[in-house]
Structures are given as structure tokens and as C-alpha cells.
Structure 1
Amino acid sequence: MVPTPSSLPGWGMSMAAILAYAVPALGIRHLTPAKARLALRCAWVLHGLALVFTLLNSPPHFGFAPALSITAWLMLTVYAVEQQLFPQMRARWVLAALGAVTVALALVFPGHPLHVQASAWLPLHLALGIACYGLFAAAVVHGALMSQAEQRMRTGAESDSGMPLLLLERLTFRFVTAGFILLTATLLAGWLFGEQLYGHAWRWGHKEIFSLLSWLVFAVLLVGRGRFGWRGNHAVRMIYAGALLLLLGYVGSRFVLEVVLGRLQ
């Protein structure tokens, strides 16, 4: 994509963020932990600035790739906070690679311009949805670390997650619970105020159906954990399934419209 003068600052920040993410993603074995953390923090700052410049562009654009980019940035925010408490936590290269990929995708597929006549509450509704994506993404990362820790424990190997297993499990379900609350609020807002937000009432499209299926999976998971003590790989697989359904809801439907069908909505 060739940057326009109005998008040039965001484009430059995005390129700088991609290069900064490449340092810990590709050179993880050659960097000390302190240098890798510094590189990841620089990339996180540049990524955030790129998002700010992009969203402040006139008119602001949004779509599946910017949604993924913001989700990755939120995941890295959670990681940055947790690493202050648990410096040995090891998910750095995976998150760096994910950050680089999502920033690059947002450059290639910037999305569609938001309508000027859209409701003033629309950004809040989008923010709720993206925050929900970020929380469930954090739950997926913690669930993967939890599964690895359990597997290493069974084989007698030392855990390399850098966090105690019980703490990983507790954090995973806290992210799931918070994400479920935001997902509920997002769906209710779309159902009750769809006409004010988008100019039309609730529609039973792919986005709505997949989002509701995701809500059902997470609801069953939380009830099962509370009443029957579901945990371990069974719970993690349900987290994966719910997150995948949610990803198919907005990101999947927008990807089909913007890329597969070659048109913007």
C-alpha cells in the first residue's frame, strides 16, 4: 500500500514497529533477556503510536486487520504488566512475531472508513468489542502456557512458563470472566441499540451468530468451572473454541468482505 500524506506518520510508525518486533522475534537466542525486553517495549510503544496515528487519520479506518492489530497490542500490554511481577515469564518471541504480523496486515488491509454520520456511541461499542478480543486473547496465551506447564509437570521436567501453575490457571479464568462480561455488554448493546449505532436493527448475520456461539461456549465453561470444577486441558480447549468462534465473528466476516469478496462494506 502506498501511503498518502495524511497516513504517512502512521505508516512510518508501523514500519518502525515491525522492525522493532523483528529484533526479539528473530534474535531471541542471541539477545540477553534485558535487551529482548527493551526491544519488545520499544516495539510496543511504536505499535501504540502507529494505532493512534491511524485512528486519528481523516477519515478513520477500521476493519479486520486493525482489529487484530489492536488486539495484539492489548495482549502485549498485559504481558508488559505481568512481566514486571514475573520477570521469568517466557512468551516474548511469540508475542513479538504476532505483533509484527498484525501491524503488517493493518498496513496492507487498512479497512474501511467509518461513516461520518455514524452514532457518537459507535466508537465506544467498537472499543468494548476490541477490549473483549484482547481479554480473550490474553486468556488463550495463558491457557497455552498452562497446558505446557501441566505437560512438563507430568513428564517431570521443570516448567519454563516462569509462573506457578495455579497462578496461571487463576489468571486465565480471570481473563475469561472479564472478557465474558465485556462480550455480554457488546452483544446487548448491538441487540438493543443496533439501529442507533449502525442505522439498522439487529441482524442474524455471520458476525452475530458466531459471536453468540462464542458467548454460549464461554458461558458453559464458566458454569462448568463453578459447578463441576472444570480445569486443565478440557477447559483450555473450550477457551480455544470460544476464542476461535469470536474471531470468526467479526474478523472472519470482515476478512471475507474486504479480501475474499474484494469489496468494502
Structure 2
Amino acid sequence: MILASPSPLGVALGIATAAAYGLTAVTASRLNRSATQWLLGLAWLLHAATLACGLVGGQARFGFGPALSVTAWLVLTVYAIESRMYPALNVRRVLAGLGAVAVLLAVLFPGTLLHVSASPWLPLHLALGIASYGLFGAAVVHAGLMGHAEKQIRQASAPAGGVPLLTLERLTFRFVAGGFVLLTATLLAGFLFSEMLYGTSVRSWKWDHKTVFSLLAWVTFGVLLIGRARFGWRGRAATRVLYAGSVLLLLAYVGSRFVLEVVLHRGSA
């Protein structure tokens, strides 16, 4: 996703979205499931409207704030679909809190302007990368649920009717596999078509922090998938590798953009 320059309407929508997410997170423990879902659904719709507003008009910009915002919306979209198939999934409070933080960061740090000579294909390249963030984010959420379920089983306190542990594990690795495919496509596009995407030889493939962390994340997820397929990795060992790869991927773009935009006050997407 590439978002346009922030407008008063976009800022107002972002604040309203963060407030809706915050209200959901605060009241989730006191409201019934149906009411909480309605509140979260309203926040999700406001979030979608905020992102749509950012796509219309103005000069294109991007950064770590919008990247986190889009990632949070994608994870919530996955949850909305899955909650229909697995009603016992109960992470509404956590996701609402994360959504509020992500939207506020996008309002406070809307990103930097893209280079005027950037290719029209650059939005697709960035969209692939953010989509991989979303799938890996969904994998992390499911890994957290899996760890919580394992703990309940060991303590003999697992509630009846919960999502089976093997189902959570299968879903986790499906998201990892999907994210790995999109991350591979993103890296290949950057390697093969970097000059065309950014419209300048200055942005050709180079070994900067973003590249190094992205490749390290790619290797980590690849090892995880191979370990799962060949050696049957599961449980804590597998989730630790997943968390490590996710941290590396987060540092690759969001971390580097945070340093450039907030600490150094410079840089382009």
C-alpha cells in the first residue's frame, strides 16, 4: 500500500478508528461476544475507510506507520474470516489494542514522500511486502494462541469447545507458508527490478540494513518450513523460530524506516 499525504479527513478518521479500537479493547471483558464483535467490526470498517482515504489524492508517501496500520488491518481481516469458522477464537481484546496503536502511529508518522521517478509498479512491490507482513502477523497471533492452548492442556484447564491444538498448529504453518511465498516474491522483485521500480540507479540492489534483515528473515522462515516438513518441528521450538523470523522481518522495513523517519528525520520509501 502507498498512502497519500495526510488530509484532515484522514487524520479525523484515524483518530476515530483508534478510539473505536480502544473502546473495544477496554470493554471486551465486560461485554458479551456479540457486542464485542460489533464494536470490533465498526473499528475495522473505520480502519478500512482511513486506508481508502489515504489512497485518494495528494502526493504518494509511505513509511513504518502506514506499514504497521495496513498490517494490523490485514491481521484483523484474517481474524474476521476465521472467527466465522472457529467461533472459539478469542483474541479480540489483543487485536483491538494492537489496532489502536498501529492506527495512532500512522496518524503521528504518516511516512515520507516517494521519489517522483518511482515506477507505477512500486505500489505492487510494496503491497507484496506488506501482505507478507500481514500473513506472518497472523501466524504470530496463532502461535500465541497455540502456546496458550498448550499451557492450558498441561495445567488441565483447557475449556471445552476450544479450537483444537492441531488445528491452530496447522493454521499457523499455513500462514507461514503463504507469507514465505509473498516474501520470496518481494525479494526477487527487489533484486531483479530494483532500478525499474525506483526509477533511479541509486536505489539499485545494495546491502543495506533492510536487505540484510529481510534476507535473514527469509532464511529463518525457510529453515522453519524445512524443519517442519523434514523433521516434524512443532511446539515451542517451532514457535521460537517463528518469533525470531518475525522480529527480523519487523526490523527489516519497519525498524529501518523508524530510524530514518523518527531518529534521523530523512529517507524515502
**TM-score normalised by length of structure 2:** 0.94
Distance in 2, matches of 1:15 and 1:190, equals 34
Residues 185/142 of structure 1: CA separation in 2 closer, same or farther (3 Å cut): same
Contact 1:90/1:162 (CA < 8 Å) preserved in 2?
no
Distance in 1, matches of 2:126 and 2:259, equals 19
Give the one of 211, 216, 219 matched to 2:219. 216
Contact 1:7/1:57 (CA < 8 Å) preserved in 2?
no
Distance in 1, matches of 2:33 and 2:227, equals 39
Matches within 5 A, 1:1-265: 7-159=7-159, 162-198=162-198, 199=200, 200-265=203-268
Residues 216/159 of structure 1: CA separation in 2 closer, same or farther (3 Å cut): farther
Contact 2:6/2:110 (CA < 8 Å) preserved in 1?
no
Following TM superposition, by how much is the alpha carbon of 1:170 offset from its aligned partner in structure 2, in angstroms? Answer: 0.3
Following TM superposition, by how much is the alpha carbon of 1:38 offset from its aligned partner in structure 2, in angstroms? Answer: 0.2
Following TM superposition, by how much is the alpha carbon of 1:264 offset from its aligned partner in structure 2, in angstroms? Answer: 3.4
Match of 1:88, SS state, is: coil
Following TM superposition, by how much is the alpha carbon of 1:101 offset from its aligned partner in structure 2, in angstroms? Answer: 0.4
Distance in 1, matches of 2:57 and 2:80, equals 27
Per-residue CA deviations over 1:80-133 (Å, capped at 9, x if unaligned) read 001111222110000000000000000000001223321011000000000000
One-letter code of the match for 2:21? Y
Contact 1:40/1:96 (CA < 8 Å) preserved in 2?
yes
Following TM superposition, by how much is the alpha carbon of 1:262 offset from its aligned partner in structure 2, in angstroms? Answer: 2.3
Residues 151/161 of structure 1: CA separation in 2 closer, same or farther (3 Å cut): farther
One-letter code of the match for 1:239? L
Gaps of 5+ in 1: none
Contact 1:64/1:255 (CA < 8 Å) preserved in 2?
yes
Distance in 2, matches of 1:98 and 1:160, equals 28
Gaps of 5+ in 2: none
Contact 1:66/1:106 (CA < 8 Å) preserved in 2?
yes
Match of 2:206, SS state, is: coil
Distance in 2, matches of 1:176 and 1:210, equals 17
Distance in 1, matches of 2:159 and 2:73, equals 26
One-letter code of the match for 2:147? S
Contact 1:61/1:113 (CA < 8 Å) preserved in 2?
yes
One-letter code of the match for 1:119? S
Match of 2:7, SS state, is: helix
Distance in 2, matches of 1:188 and 1:10, equals 33
Distance in 1, matches of 2:244 and 2:128, equals 21
Contact 1:17/1:47 (CA < 8 Å) preserved in 2?
yes
Identity percentage of aligned residues: 57
Distance in 2, matches of 1:134 and 1:193, equals 23
Match of 1:61, SS state, is: strand
Distance in 2, matches of 1:52 and 1:107, equals 14
Following TM superposition, by how much is the alpha carbon of 1:60 offset from its aligned partner in structure 2, in angstroms? Answer: 2.2
Query: How many aligned positions are there?
Result: 261
One-letter code of the match for 2:85? L
Following TM superposition, by how much is the alpha carbon of 1:64 offset from its aligned partner in structure 2, in angstroms? Answer: 0.4
One-letter code of the match for 1:234? A
One-letter code of the match for 2:141? V
